[in-house]
């Protein structure tokens, strides 16, 4: 096979009758390109790939794709026939990356209900808020989340199912006990329609509570198909003939499933590729390297902090990581030096990454291999089912190389935030979603993210709304004013910093302990600075955060 240009490869793969044929459709009032050959729903994806090949591996537990589908069908039966869950009902999941997370998600989306992925790091306040906000009918929760739920006010209409509880739950019944009454049953219900809602993932914004991002089956499947066609385009351009691998591919599940990186790029991408999914209890770079070596895993996808940790372990050469073919990124950009280290540290593994959001179901732009090594600061080229543009403050598209706000539209873009019509009206403009990222495009169509408009911190791939942290700080009776901002961090990309002004008796450590009861651990400020004077303000009366951050960073540099 001769090498192809990018445009020739795209035409060969997406034209009429091609494996990834594109068609133009209209759904939810928007017109966009969609994959004609995509499965019609997540249920169809799961059922059509339910083979006897190994799928889930967690510690000493093993399930094939077929066994996972049968187990999920039993959970689906339980949801429909015991708990009365119907199409469109919300069913929440809040737990570690246990196999039950995958099985519950499979069941929920297959019966036409909406799977609500809860951030497992949330404390009681956030957990209670999201369960009430989405109107969850059922919650699957493990021991840690059950304990947090116990301190929440009762939530009307919520049924709790305990997963791997280490003691009798105070609310709900253990999943194993419930399933003991269910035999080998088919998945109940009918195949959902492509444009039915399938998921709600909560994302932190620049202000207020987390917002529920609602996506359809088509939105999610467009992402999975997009990654597939991107890989095939690369193979055709390099003249590589795709052949079935001699050994089954496998990937490490180390990213939380409540993030689209974990759920989409790691978990859901396994089905059509028939890839093994090897999970771990919590992130530990040495343990991850041992798993990769023992299971001969071929791919690893994680934020920059985690891939950086693995690079450090790889340099020690205690484990054979030569089975790795791909080391992907997500959630936050990598430093250019880490990109080069990945290319040099894992034998034949090539780095890849991209720009995407929860709102775009993890896709947007992508880059990998030689392109990434020569452009380590880029987020890549646009997905074939999306359009991007960069506009100035007046909404006019900027010229090539100029900075502006990045807008996106297309098949994977979510339908809107749950129950927030006013926010949706501001977030969308003629079908284009305003990302809040400042970006530029070079002369070859490669995207570079250079700044953010939104008041947001990205710590190790976790989005943290500054307004939410400020609100928690202001709950303390000794705090009168608070400003929260990003502090650069070598491993995590950014850390949370705060400057507060209040009473003379304000104690920083007591304040940190106080907000720990209202915020997830990753949201608690690592740096808290006390100001003896009221915080500076702009002429319009707003707290002058840029000045405060600049002064704080200068002070932190001075003491390092």
Show the tokens assigned to 341.
């280290």
- In 236-363, which ranges are E strands? 250-253, 276-279, 299-301, 326-328, 350-356
Q: What is the CA radius of gyration of the chain?
A: 23
Whether the pLDDT of residue 560 is over 60: the answer is: no
pLDDT at 461 over 90: no
Average pLDDT over residues 188-212: 90
Phi first, then psi, for residue 4 (nearest 5°) are -115, 155
Alpha carbon distance 484, 487 (integer Å): 10
18-35 as b/e: b if 16+ CB within 10 A: eebebeeeebeebebbbb
pLDDT digits (tens, 9 = 90+) for 332-391: 777 777 888 887 777 778 889 999 999 999 999 999 888 888 898 899 999 999 999 999
Q: Which of helix, strand or coil describes residue 355?
A: strand
pLDDT exceeds 90 at position 239: no
| Owner of token pair 């990205």 | 458
User: What whole-number distance in Å separates Cα of residue 104 and Cα of residue 95?
Assistant: 11
Q: Tens of pLDDT along 181-199?
A: 899 999 999 999 999 999 9
Q: Which three-class secondary structure string do you get for 438-497?
A: EEEECCCCCEEEEEECCCEEEECCEEEEHHHHHHHHHCCCCEEEEEEEEEEECCCEEEEE
- Tell whether the model's pLDDT for residue 168 goes beyond 90: no
**pTM of this prediction exceeds 0.95:** no
How far apart are the C-alpha atoms of 161 and 169, rounded to whole Å? 9
Rounded CA-CA distance 225/149 in Å is 37
Q: Which domains does the chain have, with CATH numbers?
A: 6-37+215-452 (3.40.50.12780), 42-203 (3.40.50.12780), 456-559 (3.30.300.30)
- Cα–Cα distances in angstroms (integers) from residue 462 to residues 249, 279, 304, in the given order: 28, 20, 11
pLDDT, tens digit, 9 for 90 and up, residues 255-283: 999 999 999 999 999 999 999 999 999 99
Backbone angles phi, psi at 310, to 5 degrees: -70, -35
Task: Inform me whether the pLDDT recorded for 540 exceeds 80.
Answer: no
Residues 484-530: pLDDT tens digits? 999 999 899 999 999 999 998 999 999 999 999 989 999 999 999 99
Average pLDDT for the chain? 92
Q: How confident is the model at residue 1 (pLDDT cuts 50, 70, 90)?
A: very low
């Amino acid at each position: 096979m001769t090498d192809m240009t990018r445009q020739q490869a795209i035409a060969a793969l997406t034209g009429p009758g091609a494996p990834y044929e594109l068609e133009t459709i209209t759904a939810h009032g928007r017109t966009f390109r969609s994959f004609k050959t995509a499965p019609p729903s997540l249920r169809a994806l799961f059922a059509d790939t339910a083979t006897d090949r190994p799928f889930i591996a967690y510690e000493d537990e093993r399930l094939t794709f077929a066994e996972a589908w049968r187990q999920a069908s039993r959970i689906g039966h339980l949801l429909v026939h015991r708990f009365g869950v119907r199409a469109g009902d919300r069913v929440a999941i809040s737990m570690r990356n246990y196999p039950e997370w995958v099985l519950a998600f499979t069941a929920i989306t297959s019966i036409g209900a909406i799977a609500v992925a809860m951030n497992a790091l949330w404390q009681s306040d956030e957990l209670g808020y999201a369960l009430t906000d989405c109107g969850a009918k059922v919650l699957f929760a493990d021991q840690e989340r059950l304990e947090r739920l116990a301190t929440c006010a009762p939530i009307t209409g919520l049924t709790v199912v305990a997963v791997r509880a280490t003691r009798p739950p105070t609310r709900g019944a253990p999943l194993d006990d419930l399933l003991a009454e269910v035999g080998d049953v088919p998945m109940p219900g009918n195949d959902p329609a492509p444009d039915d809602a399938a998921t709600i993932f909560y994302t932190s914004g620049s202000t207020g509570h987390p917002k529920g991002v609602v996506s359809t089956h088509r939105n999610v499947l467009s992402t999975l198909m997009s990654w597939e066609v991107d890989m095939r385009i690369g193979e055709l351009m390099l003249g590589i003939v795709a052949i079935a691998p001699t050994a089954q591919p496998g990937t490490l599940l180390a990213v939380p499933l409540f993030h689209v990186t974990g759920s989409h790029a790691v978990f859901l991408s396994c089905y059509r590729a028939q890839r093994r999914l090897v999970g771990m209890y919590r992130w530990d770079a040495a343990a991850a390297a041992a798993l990769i070596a023992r299971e001969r895993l071929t791919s690893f996808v994680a934020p920059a902090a985690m891939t950086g940790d693995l690079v450090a372990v790889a340099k020690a050469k205690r484990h054979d990581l030569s089975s790795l073919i791909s080391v992907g990124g997500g959630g936050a950009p990598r430093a250019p030096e880490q990109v080069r280290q990945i290319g040099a540290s894992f034998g034949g593994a090539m780095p890849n990454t991209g720009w995407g959001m929860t709102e775009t179901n993890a896709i947007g732009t992508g880059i990998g291999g030689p392109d990434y090594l020569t452009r380590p600061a880029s987020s890549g080229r646009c997905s074939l089912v999306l359009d991007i543009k960069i506009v100035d403050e007046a909404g006019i598209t900027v010229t090539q190389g100029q900075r502006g706000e990045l807008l996106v539209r297309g098949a994977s873009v979510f339908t809107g935030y749950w129950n927030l019509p006013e926010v949706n009206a501001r977030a969308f403009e003629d079908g284009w979603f305003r990302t809040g990222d400042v970006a530029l495009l070079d002369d070859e169509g490669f995207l570079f993210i250079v700044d953010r408009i939104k008041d947001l911190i990205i710590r190790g791939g976790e989005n943290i709304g500054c307004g939410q942290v400020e609100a928690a700080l202001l709950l303390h009776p000794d705090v009168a004013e608070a400003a929260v901002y990003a502090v650069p961090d070598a491993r995590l990309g950014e850390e949370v910093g705060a400057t507060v002004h209040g009473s003379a008796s304000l104690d920083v450590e007591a304040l940190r302990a106080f907000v720990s009861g209202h915020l997830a651990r990753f949201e608690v400020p690592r740096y808290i600075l006390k100001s003896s004077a009221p915080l500076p303000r702009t002429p319009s009366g707003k707290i002058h955060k840029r000045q405060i951050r600049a002064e704080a960073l200068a002070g932190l540099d001075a003491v390092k």
